[in-house]
């Protein structure tokens, strides 16, 4: 697992309020189906911005970006490339 994915999982553990262990969820699994509410996803987004020193643009503020660890990872990679 990449350092980015590990940090994403830490943020999810702290902010997603999932009823299951974050480490038991596959990178492709739907976090909303696993129990994350839309309210919790906002908290996750804000925590990710702090953790990775990025800002999600309006174009990325959609369910699909925050639907899985893999989706979040791809979005963060894209934001970090843009900032470099």
| Tokens coding 44 | 């996750």
pLDDT, tens digit, for every residue of 42-80? Answer: 999 999 999 999 999 999 999 999 999 999 999 999 999
**CB-based contact 57:32 (threshold 8 Å):** no
Q: Tell me the average pLDDT across 6-26.
A: 96
Q: What is the pLDDT of residue 3?
A: 79
Specify the pTM: 0.93
Residue burial 12-25, b: 16+ Cβ < 10 Å; e: rest: beebbebeeebeeb
Q: What is the pLDDT of residue 64?
A: 95
Domains and CATH numbers, the chain: 3-83 (1.10.1200.10)
Q: Would the pLDDT of 2 be above 80? A: no
Q: Would the pLDDT of 83 be above 90? A: no
Q: Would the pLDDT of 37 be above 90? A: yes
């Amino acid at each position: 697992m990449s350092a980015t994915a590990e940090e994403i999982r830490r943020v999810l553990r702290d902010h997603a309020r999932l009823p299951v262990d974050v480490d038991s969820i596959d990178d492709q699994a739907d976090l909303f189906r696993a129990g994350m509410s839309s309210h919790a996803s906002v908290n996750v987004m804000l925590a990710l911005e702090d953790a990775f020193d990025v800002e999600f643009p309006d174009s990325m503020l959609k369910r699909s970006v925050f639907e899985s660890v893999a989706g979040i990872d791809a979005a963060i990679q894209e934001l970090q490339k843009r900032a470099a």
